């Protein structure tokens, strides 16, 4: 079910452009961007769905490099306490260039589990866990193929139709093609929070309209993706235990397409509140807000902030047993293929609201804090839930304008929003 094409074709007043006609809005894939962006003239009002060098955040090695640099900068400018707010990604080394640093670290902590991930692939392809240096020696000699998952044997099926949307088989994230296969070796989080004995991660959607100034929206809905098999560290070669990617899990022998392996975030938040109380959940979700903002700030100065660009990112977050959230990766092209009816509704609403915020129809005033399921969380500074300018002096009563996993009464909100905007237009004319 291709949610993107359904949403674009059903948008009132929008017409699909065939072949080489002139266009105003393009949901392009990253390969189009690489080949055409620098040679394409765009009028003031034209919008496309990626920033030119989005990979600074969405390639695993670049993301870590930028976060490490940002953490050092914070430590210099604001001290260790502030820099510690960036401690939300596992210890990571880029391979092969940081191999010797990795070996040093590996020998300090014998027996712990590490995970190897190719920097530019998605859907769990090429990932393996290891505890012995010998496994890395094999990998370095070019024998890592023995360790790759069975999925690796399948061809990459990422095709784009002429309108620039993904087809129904699209990959979760089209990464940049790179000649040499680089990996990251990352400390594996051995104590993930489990529900029903199973590991899961969260997919959260963040929409960035501009980097300079930084203007970012957080979507209320998202989902938890579960592995199909109970978690254990005694079988590190079992991808169904350790990888939560839907592309991996749906090949599991006991996968039920109807049941799937997802919980909506609202259900997840309610479950945690019933187990740990609302305060612990508020703290966890506030820590996740910190991840979204700090990661965007870490690339703010390196991303080319072109006024024609916006980007809908898919954040993958893992939560450990101490209710600490960890950033696993950020996807530039989060999967818009629906795996169930519930998934279809989430993704079509997400895309409709993305188009409302992008606002090709020029209906918004630019002062909105909420549009459908999106809440403005950063507008060149934190956004307060309260009306009026935030009092940042003591930050005492400041509450961030985020509602992740809360009720999403988007239809009612959109009706009220557009009715009031029409009223304002009539009054002014």
DSSP 28-72: --HHHHHHHGGG----TT-EESS-TTTHHHHSHHHHHHHHHHHHH
User: What H or E segment, with its residue span, contains residue 249?
Assistant: helix 246-249
- 113 DSSP 8-state letter: -
Residue pair 164/29 in contact (Cβ under 8 Å)? The answer is yes
Which pLDDT score, from 0 to 100, does residue 171 have?
45
- pLDDT tens by residue, 59-91: 999 999 999 999 999 999 999 999 999 999 999
Residue pair 88/287 in contact (Cβ under 8 Å)? The answer is yes
For the chain, percent of residues with pLDDT exceeding 90:
56
pTM: 0.87
Alpha helices in 258-316 (DSSP H): 265-276, 278-299
- Tokens 């309610």: give the residue: 270
C-alpha angle 102-138-200 in degrees, rounded to nearest 5: 65
164: CB partners within 8 A, 6+ apart: 26, 27, 28, 29, 32
Mean of pLDDT values over 187-205: 93
Rounded alpha-carbon distances, angstroms, from residue 263 to 203, 288, 392, 406: 10, 18, 36, 14
Per the prediction, the chain carries an average pLDDT of: 83
- 414 DSSP 8-state letter: H
* Dist. CA 186–CA 60, nearest whole Å: 10
Counts for the chain of helices (H) and strands (E), in that order = 13, 13
Q: Can you give the length of the chain in residues? A: 429
Q: 95: left (phi > 0), else alpha (psi -120 to 50), else beta?
A: beta
Predicted confidence (pLDDT) at residue 169 exceeds the cutoff of 50: no
* Dist. CA 253–CA 245, nearest whole Å: 15
Predicted confidence (pLDDT) at residue 386 exceeds the cutoff of 90: no
The number of angstroms, rounded, from the C-alpha of 349 to the middle of its chain's C-alpha atoms is: 17
């Amino acid at each position: 079910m291709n949610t993107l094409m359904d949403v674009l074709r059903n948008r009132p007043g929008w017409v699909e452009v065939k072949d080489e006609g002139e266009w105003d809005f393009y949901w392009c894939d990253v390969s189009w961007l690489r080949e055409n962006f620098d040679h394409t003239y765009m009028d003031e009002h034209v919008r496309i769905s990626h920033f030119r060098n989005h990979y600074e955040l969405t390639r695993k090695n670049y993301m870590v490099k930028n976060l490490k640099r940002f953490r050092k900068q914070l430590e210099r400018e604001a001290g260790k306490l502030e820099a510690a707010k960036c401690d939300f990604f596992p210890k990571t080394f880029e391979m092969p260039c940081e191999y010797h640093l990795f070996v040093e670290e590996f020998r300090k902590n014998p027996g712990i589990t590490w995970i190897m991930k190719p920097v530019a692939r998605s859907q769990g392809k090429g990932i393996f866990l290891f505890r012995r240096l010998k496994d890395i020696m094999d990998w370095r000699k070019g024998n890592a193929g023995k360790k790759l998952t069975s999925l690796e044997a399948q061809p990459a099926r990422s095709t784009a139709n002429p309108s620039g949307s993904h087809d129904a088989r699209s990959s979760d994230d089209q990464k940049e093609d790179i000649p040499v296969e680089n990996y990251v070796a990352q400390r594996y989080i051995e104590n993930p929070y489990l529900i029903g004995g199973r590991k899961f991660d969260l997919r959260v959607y963040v929409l960035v309209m501009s980097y300079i100034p930084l203007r970012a929206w957080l979507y209320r809905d998202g989902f938890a993706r579960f592995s199909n098999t109970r978690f254990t560290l005694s079988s590190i070669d079992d991808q169904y235990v350790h990888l939560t990617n839907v592309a991996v899990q749906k090949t599991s022998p006991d996968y039920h397409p109807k049941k799937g392996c997802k919980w909506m975030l609202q259900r997840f938040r309610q479950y945690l509140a019933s187990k740990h109380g609302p305060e612990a959940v508020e703290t966890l979700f506030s820590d996740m807000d910190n991840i979204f903002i700090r990661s965007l700030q870490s690339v703010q100065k390196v991303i080319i902030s072109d006024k024609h660009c916006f980007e809908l990112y898919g954040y993958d977050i893992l939560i450990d047993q101490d209710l600490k959230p960890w950033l696993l990766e950020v996807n530039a092209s989060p999967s818009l293929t629906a795996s169930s009816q519930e998934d279809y509704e989430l993704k079509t609403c997400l895309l409709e609201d993305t188009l409302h915020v992008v606002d090709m129809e020029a209906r918004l005033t630019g002062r909105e804090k909420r549009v459908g399921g999106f809440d403005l969380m950063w507008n060149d500074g934190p956004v307060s839930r309260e009306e009026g300018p935030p009092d940042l002096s003591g930050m005492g009563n400041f509450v961030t304008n985020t509602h992740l996993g809360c009720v999403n009464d988007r239809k009612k909100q959109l009706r009220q929003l557009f009715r009031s905007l029409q009223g304002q237009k009539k009054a002014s004319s």
